[in-house]
Every structure is written in structure tokens, then in C-alpha cells.
Amino acid sequence: MTAADKEFLYKEYRGKVLGYIRTRVNNREDAEDLCEDVFLKAFQSPSGYDAAKAAPGTWIYTITKNTVIDYFRRQRPTEELPEDLADENSPEDSVENDETLEELANALARLPADLKDIIVMCYYDRRPLTEIAMISGISYGAVKLKHQKALALLRGALE
Amino acid sequence: MNTEKKLYRLFEYQRFANNPKLQKIIDSAHGKDVQQLDDEDLDKVAAAGEIKPLDKRERRL
């Protein structure tokens, strides 16, 4: 991996890596340290990055996820992993792959525009429904109904 | 795993994986956000500085 590749990875993914870690690790300093660990691991990886196996984002995502799991194991060696991380660490519960993303994209494409926008604002932007109601200019009750309808339509497609 | 948890995880993964079809849907939803801002809000956005393109694609190393 060239210096330019490393610079690209760091610039492109640092914010995403830190964002992922911050949603799981409450301590800001630990989160910053873990973020730096992710890039150290990536840059010092003996096998390095293999473009034939995965896109760089997928590779960085895997390193990030494993770094956070290792952190919790070090912090609480005798305790179970937090529920979300335990799910993420379980191969049978793994949903993060390109095929499932494609399925989600196809399922969203079939939704009416207003439902699609609510799903993006809720699950990508992580906005509460009250805020989505303000942005969309409709009542909270209407957003809640649309949200439930969208979830019901997506449920079948994602199972 | 319930649908909501799956959606959170997939959208989070999308930040790294950049599926082009899904990104188009996300960008479209965000484009609508901007259109709904009033003039005063748009002035604030302009004053905040350079507007970066939303559809920057991941490159292969």
C-alpha cells in the first residue's frame, strides 16, 4: 500500500470509523484511540489490502468492528458482549454484505417516495420521528403511520 | 433480528460500502431536505462555506 493509498483511506474513512465507534463506545478518548488503532492495524496489516477480496470500505469496516469487539473483551473479559455487538459478531446474524445492501436498495426503490425518505432520515441520518415530522412538514402522527407502513413493506423484502 | 435493527446496521455498513443504487436513494432523500429549506436557511448554508458533492464514490485502491 502506497503512502497515497494510506492518505486516501485515512481521509475517506476516518470520520466513518469514528462515527461507528462513537455509537458503541461512550468514552470519547477511548473512541479516538480505537479509531487510530483501526488505521494502524490497516496500515500494518501483514496481508495488507486485497482489492480482489473486498472494497476498501468493507475491509475497513471489518477491522473497525473487530477492534470494537476486542475493546469490549478487554474492558469486560468476564462479561458477555453488549447485545448489538454480540449480534454483529455472530456469523449467522451477519447482514452486512453487498448482496443485502442491494436487496435493501431494491426494496426501497419500490417504496413510494415519502416512505423512502422517512426510512433514510430515520435509519441513515438517525433522526427521531419528531424531527422528521418537522422536516417533512407533516404531523408526528402521520410520520409515525408512514414509518410503520414502510417498515411493514420492507420486512418481507429483508427477511 | 428485527427489521429496524437490520436497517440501522445496513445503513451504517452503507457508509463504508457505498452501494451506488442505495446511495442514489439516500442522496435523493437528502436533496429533498435541501429543497424544503427556506431562503434564510439557504443563506446560512451558503455562508457556511463550500458545498461538497454528495455522490462522491468510493475508489478502488
Do A9 and A60 lie in one domain? The reply is yes
User: Residues A47-80, buried b or exposed e (16+ Cβ, 10 A)?
Assistant: eebeeeeebbbbbbbebbbebbbebbeeeeeeee
CA B37 from centroid of its chain's CA atoms: 16
Contacts of A109 in chain B (CB under 8 A): 21, 25
Structural domain that includes position A125: 98-158
Q: Which residues contact A121 (CB under 8 A, 6 or more apart)?
A: A127, A131, A132, A135, B29, B33
pLDDT (tens digit, 9 = 90+) per residue, A118-146? Answer: 999 999 999 999 999 999 999 999 999 99
Look at residues A93, A108, A138 and tell me which one is the last residue of a structural domain.
A93
- Asked if the Cβ–Cβ distance from B3 to A116 is below 8 Å, we say no
What does the pLDDT read at residue A129?
96
Contacts A93 to B, Cβ<8 Å: 1
Q: What is the DSSP letter of A91?
A: G
- Nearest chain B alpha carbon to A58: B17
CATH number of the structural domain spanning residue A49: 1.10.1740
For residues A84 and A108, state if they share a domain: no
- Of the residues A75, A93, A111, which one is the last residue of a structural domain? A93
Closest partner residue to A135 among B5, B17, B36, by Cβ?
A: B36
Could you read off the pLDDT of A35-70 as tens digits, one per residue? 999 999 999 876 777 777 778 888 899 899 999 999
Q: CB distance A16–B16 less than 8 Å? A: yes
Chain B contacts of A151, Cβ < 8 Å? 3-4
Written as tens digits, the pLDDT of chain B (61 aa) is 789 989 998 999 999 998 999 999 999 999 865 555 555 555 654 555 444 444 444 455 6
Q: Which of A93, A121, A141 is the last residue of a domain?
A: A93
Per-residue pLDDT, A89? 62
